[in-house]
Amino acid sequence: MSYAATHDQHDDHHGAPKSFFQRWCMSTNHKDIGTLYLIFSLTMFFIGGSFAMLIRAELFKPGMQLMQPYFFNQLTTMHALVMIFGAIMPAFVGLGNWMIPLMVGAPDMALPRMNNLSFWILPFAFLLMLSTLFLPGGGPAGGWTMYPPLSLQSDSLAYVVFAIHLMGISSIMGAINIIATILNMRAPGMDLLKMPVFVWSWLITAFLLIAVMPVLAGAVTMLLTDKYFGTNFFNPGGGGDPVLYQHIFWFFGHPEVYIMILPAFGIISEIVPTFARKPIFGYKAMVFAIACIAFLSFIVWAHHMFAVGLPLGAEIFFMYATMLISVPTGVKVFNWVATMWGGSMTFETPMLFALAFIILFTIGGFSGLMLALVPADFQYHDTYFVVAHFHYVLVTGALFAIIAAAYYWLPKWTGNMYSEFWGKVHFWNSVIWVNVLFFPQHFLGLAGMPRRIPDYNVAFANFNMISSIGGFLFGATQLIFVGVVIHCAFFSKKKATDRVWEGAKGLEWTVPSPAPHHTFEVPPVINDDELAHGHVND
Amino acid sequence: MTSGGIRRSFTAAAALALASFGSVALAAPGPWQLNMARGASTWSQVPYHLNNIALGVCTVIGVLVFGAMFVAMFRFRKSRGAVAEKWSHNTTVEVIWTTIPVLILITLAYLATGGLTSWADTTGSQMTVKVTGYQWKWRYDYVDYMGKSIDKVGFMSKLDSQSDQTRQLGSGLDPFAVKVGDESTYLLNVDKPLVVPVDTKIRFVITSGDVIHSWWVPATGWKIDAIPGIINAAWANFTAPGTYRGQCAELCGQDHGFMPIVVVVKSKADFAKWLAEQEAHSAAPAAAPQTAQVAAPAVAKQG
């Protein structure tokens, strides 16, 4: 429809620059920058994953086998920092870069040069951070949360703080770009309440990013001045307070965890209707639920701190606010199930990952609800129960959604179909081993195994060994994904159609596959029937 | 609401917990242990029952939601000839599935609030022990017992030497061989345990001399952070004599995994005897280890 109407005007347009350097390093094209983000994210996923493999290898059986405890602490710290800031967040920014302009009918991002800068900061930030592993004194070892006074004992603090500043600048610029694109660059007729849920989820996420990344920058800067410039923000000997850092950090940290899950909600809300061939149930409720969750994320930060000795009133307030989040989150899960109900479902790989997301993310939500109950949290806090909880929401939540999105849009990006057989092999291995990996960690936590320990009592041996076996196989399974992507991009003989999926709706499916270097240079004519949410009155 | 009240209201719903999740009072974690232990203090029942209730609620909701999903996946597949319907909205069901979770949450919040309130009440304690965390050991100072202040009874408590030798990289020693009697105590034993009396409301005041630690004995039902410059308070009343083991629960540096906690609960008579011995010893003051002299500035707890 819309693309056909304007198609001939693209014919005389230039394609991608021929020179490798010009095309990739100097790019201002949202698709190329999106690709760069996604490749960067996949690289970081394997670096962070290799840290996880070493952690699981050390924890394979009781006794110290492979490394000194301090190096183990560096691994857990770096695993988290790399996965959060290097793998999950850039993957969502990459997906947003690629898809938001295509979904709202814009020719590119609103600020293309800033887009280039916000990507190219990242490799340098991570080089700086990862280089600390090879410096005398080693990398950061105080946990990704960097609680003082412990984090102040680290020699690499300044490197990490500077790297975090760079990542923060990158995230803020990315967020500004996404907001400007969504608010200013929509094609005429693409009303806010006709936008795909994925675009909505990114709009809200971008506001969260702008709100909290400066808070993190402030917190780590105070660490820096406490260590090197004689301030006493967090030093009780000088009238400071270590708990103040935790309040500031988690005021960033809790919205941050929703930054990592709201775009995933958006992705699932695109995929489920496509493969159920039925419009999403309760579009407005879905958008409203995301906004609710975003708001609540600002008033629940102290649920990470139930054991620091908060006053009773504060513990009660943060418990109630936290429990409240399960209402909008529940609405989202129910709506996805209602979208499937009465549909006509097929189960291609993106749909399989989306269904696994719904079930396994919900399990992570259940343990989240249990963690919200303060008296129970006094037992769960800082145990493997928490580790299991946040890996269910981040691995089978955020990561599964990213993988689902990659399978869903890969044909549009490359013009070729991926191998459905190998996609399914990847899916079934992932979904089985990830549960072998993380489910027993609930038991370990409940039985009393603290997190972030390199060695443990022999009572924890059985489940740790099972968890490690699951971990190695889950890690190895992800190599299949790389194979599928490379095959799809370069070797697949099966050409993708423009629409790719029978039930797919929305502007991104009106452009050819692969999407040409420039799209929508003339705004498309919007036909409400062809939008996923063109006639939404709910 | 008292913890006894919680226990009563939980009795019916406790049946929801799966049989395999049933638990006995464990002093230390057991192999293949699936659920939280009941603990051994008057208050430790609260998290235990709350955990079981919440788990039961989540299991029921999970069975319903995932059940509906699986029914949808089998009934509404294209390969079975399902034709997609057009509807995308139903106000009635949306109101229902927003209201029911709210009601469940109110119930859970009510139970949790009662339990939390009883936890926060440290008044009426018959004994006070000061706990100080250090990298990487604990110090215990006995402050008062039965209204009488105690002088100079205090000691450091660190990982036992057998665990310490075994845990060294490349030690070649078997962690399964670290035992006290029949109990495997690898990384869960100390040179000198904290000794307290049974059936006594003990107030713990907890702080740290360097970085943040967290004092956690699962049998008490709680953990609380040991923070430099801040003194936190919590209480426990052990219901049975025994040896209860725990660990530091806040990352505190390289040996965070190697600073266990052992509490030996004795009968009141045995404890009185033990305390008298300690007081006699302290007449000739034991040299405190170097680190113990790092003074924690005593700033009043916030709030």
pLDDT category of residue A497 using cuts at 50, 70 and 90: very high
Instruction: Tell me which of A202, A250, A258, A408 is the catalytic residue.
Output: A258
Same-domain status, B51 and B196 = no
Which of B85, B120, B155 corresponds to the end of one domain? B120
Q: Give the separation between CA B63 and CA B92, rounded to whole angstroms.
A: 22
Tokens of A519: 């799209």
Mean pLDDT, 10 residues at a time, over chain B (303 residues)?
48 39 58 91 95 96 96 93 86 91 95 94 94 96 93 93 94 92 93 96 96 96 96 96 95 95 96 93 59 45 41
Contacts of A461 in chain B (CB under 8 A): 31
Contact A63 B62 (CB under 8 A): no
Instruction: Tell me which of A31, A56, A194, A254 is the catalytic residue.
Output: A254
Give the nearest chain B residue to A69 (CA atoms): B254
- Among A445, A146, A322, A306, which residue's Cα sits nearest to residue B224? A306
Mark residue B291 as left, alpha or beta (left: phi above 0; alpha: psi -120 to 50; beta: remaining).
Answer: alpha
Instruction: Tell me which of A186, A303, A391, A533 is the catalytic residue.
Output: A303
SS (H, E, C) A336-355: HHHHHCCCCECCCHHHHHHH
Instruction: Specify the CATH number for the domain of residue A334.
Output: 1.20.210.10
Q: Is A424's Cβ below 8 Å from some Cβ in B?
A: no
Q: Please tell me the predicted confidence (pLDDT) of residue B1.
A: 42
Q: Is A67's Cβ below 8 Å from some Cβ in B?
A: yes
- Among B6, B225, B204, B205, which residue's Cα sits nearest to residue B116? B6
Q: Please tell me the predicted confidence (pLDDT) of residue A527.
A: 85
Q: Identify whether the C-beta of residue B296 lies closer than 8 Å to the C-beta of residue B205.
A: no
For residue B290, tell me if it sits in a domain: no
| Mean pLDDT of all residues belonging to chain A | 94
Q: Please tell me the predicted confidence (pLDDT) of residue A249.
A: 97
Q: Please tell me the predicted confidence (pLDDT) of residue B86.
A: 85
Q: Which residues pair with B238 in a beta bridge?
A: B41
- Using the predicted structure, report yes or no on whether residue A411 has a pLDDT greater than 90: yes
A170: annotated active-site residue: yes
Same-domain status, B131 and B183 = yes
pLDDT category of residue A14 using cuts at 50, 70 and 90: low
| Count of CA atoms in the C-beta half-sphere (13 A) of B199 | 4
- Among A87, A205, A71, A196, which residue's Cα sits nearest to residue A138? A71
DSSP 8-state assignment for residue A534: T
Tokens of B5: 């009240």
Say if strands B202-208 and B260-266 run parallel, antiparallel, or are unpaired. Answer: unpaired
Give the nearest chain B residue to A285 (CA atoms): B94
CA angle (B223 as vertex; B219, B229 as ends), nearest 5:
145
Across the interface, which of A147, A150, A381 has its CB nearest the CB of B249?
Answer: A381
- Among A472, A390, A399, A383, which residue's Cα sits nearest to residue A436? A472
Contact B62 A362 (CB under 8 A): yes
Which of B120, B135, B162 corresponds to the end of one domain? B120
Instruction: Specify the CATH number for the domain of residue B207.
Output: 2.60.40.420
pLDDT category of residue A270 using cuts at 50, 70 and 90: very high
Contact B105 A376 (CB under 8 A): no
**Domain assignment of residue A147, given as a range:** 28-530
A159: annotated active-site residue: no
Number of domains present in the structure of chain A? 1
Q: Give the mean model confidence (pLDDT) for residues A220-232.
A: 96
Q: Please tell me the predicted confidence (pLDDT) of residue B28.
A: 80
Contact A236 B86 (CB under 8 A): no
Helix axes A112-131, A157-184, angle to 10 degrees: 160
Q: Please tell me the predicted confidence (pLDDT) of residue B14.
A: 42
The residue count for chain A: 538
For residue A2, tell me if it sits in a domain: no
- Using the predicted structure, report yes or no on whether residue A488 has a pLDDT greater than 70: yes
pLDDT digits (tens, 9 = 90+) for A38-86: 999 999 999 999 999 999 999 999 999 999 999 999 999 999 999 999 9
Q: Please tell me the predicted confidence (pLDDT) of residue A13.
A: 52
Same-domain status, B142 and B246 = yes
pTM of the model: 0.92
For residue B160, tell me if it sits in a domain: yes
Across the interface, which of A278, A330, A378 has its CB nearest the CB of B84?
Answer: A278
For residue B7, tell me if it sits in a domain: no
For residue A240, tell me if it sits in a domain: yes
Same-domain status, B40 and B97 = yes
For residue B14, tell me if it sits in a domain: no
Q: Give the separation between CA B192 and CA B190, rounded to whole angstroms.
A: 6
Q: Please tell me the predicted confidence (pLDDT) of residue A532.
A: 83
Determine whether A11 is exposed, middle or buried from the number of CB atoms within 10 Å of its CB (0-12, 13-18, 19+).
Answer: exposed
Give buried/exposed letters for B153-186 (b at 16+ CB in 10 A, else e). bbbbbbbbebbbebbeeeeebebeebeeeeebbb
Terminal CA-to-CA distance of chain B, rounded, Å? 23
Q: Please tell me the predicted confidence (pLDDT) of residue B30.
A: 86
Same-domain status, B172 and B269 = yes
For residue A275, tell me if it sits in a domain: yes
Q: Identify whether the C-beta of residue A384 lies closer than 8 Å to the C-beta of residue A56.
A: no
pLDDT category of residue A537 using cuts at 50, 70 and 90: low
Same-domain status, B211 and B97 = no
- Among B265, B206, B268, which residue's Cα sits nearest to residue B25? B265
- Using the predicted structure, report yes or no on whether residue A10 has a pLDDT greater than 50: no
For residue B299, tell me if it sits in a domain: no
Contact A319 B109 (CB under 8 A): yes
Q: Please tell me the predicted confidence (pLDDT) of residue B282.
A: 77
- Using the predicted structure, report yes or no on whether residue A254 has a pLDDT greater than 80: yes
Number of domains present in the structure of chain B? 2
Q: Please tell me the predicted confidence (pLDDT) of residue A256.
A: 95
Q: Is A238's Cβ below 8 Å from some Cβ in B?
A: no
- Strands (E) across A322-463 are located at none
Instruction: Tell me which of A332, A389, A412, A426 is the catalytic residue.
Output: A332
Which of B120, B145, B162 corresponds to the end of one domain? B120
Same-domain status, B206 and B256 = yes
Contact A446 B34 (CB under 8 A): yes
Mutation target to probe the B interface, by most B beta carbons within 10 A, among A345, A362, A367, A449 is A345
Q: Please tell me the predicted confidence (pLDDT) of residue A536.
A: 58
Same-domain status, B55 and B140 = no
pLDDT digits (tens, 9 = 90+) for A426-454: 999 999 999 999 999 999 999 999 999 99
How many pairs of residues across A and B have Cβ atoms under 8 Å apart?
A: 315
pLDDT category of residue A16 using cuts at 50, 70 and 90: confident
For residue B148, tell me if it sits in a domain: yes
Element (H, E) at A245: helix A242-259
Same-domain status, B133 and B275 = yes
pLDDT category of residue A169 using cuts at 50, 70 and 90: very high
A332: annotated active-site residue: yes
**Domain assignment of residue B86, given as a range:** 35-120
Q: Please tell me the predicted confidence (pLDDT) of residue A7.
A: 47
Q: Please tell me the predicted confidence (pLDDT) of residue A17.
A: 82
Residue A92 one-letter amino acid: F
Contacts of A277 in chain B (CB under 8 A): 78, 84
Same-domain status, B57 and B191 = no
Q: Is A312's Cβ below 8 Å from some Cβ in B?
A: yes
Instruction: Tell me which of A35, A156, A181, A269 is the catalytic residue.
Output: A269
Same-domain status, B146 and B267 = yes
For residue B301, tell me if it sits in a domain: no
Same-domain status, B142 and B224 = yes
Give the nearest chain B residue to A70 (CA atoms): B254
For residue A120, tell me if it sits in a domain: yes
CA angle (A373 as vertex; A368, A375 as ends), nearest 5:
135
Q: Please tell me the predicted confidence (pLDDT) of residue A34.
A: 97
The C-alpha of A87 sits at a distance from chain B's nearest C-alpha, in angstroms, of 24
A256: annotated active-site residue: yes
Q: Please tell me the predicted confidence (pLDDT) of residue B27.
A: 67
Contact A381 B69 (CB under 8 A): no
Q: Give the mean model confidence (pLDDT) for residues A348-357.
A: 97
Mutation target to probe the A interface, by most A beta carbons within 10 A, among B250, B255, B262, B263 is B250
Give the nearest chain B residue to A147 (CA atoms): B212
- Using the predicted structure, report yes or no on whether residue A212 has a pLDDT greater than 80: yes
Instruction: Specify the CATH number for the domain of residue B60.
Output: 1.10.287
Tokens of A458: 């022999």
Mutation target to probe the B interface, by most B beta carbons within 10 A, among A68, A75, A150 is A150
Across the interface, which of A314, A326, A345 has its CB nearest the CB of B303?
Answer: A314
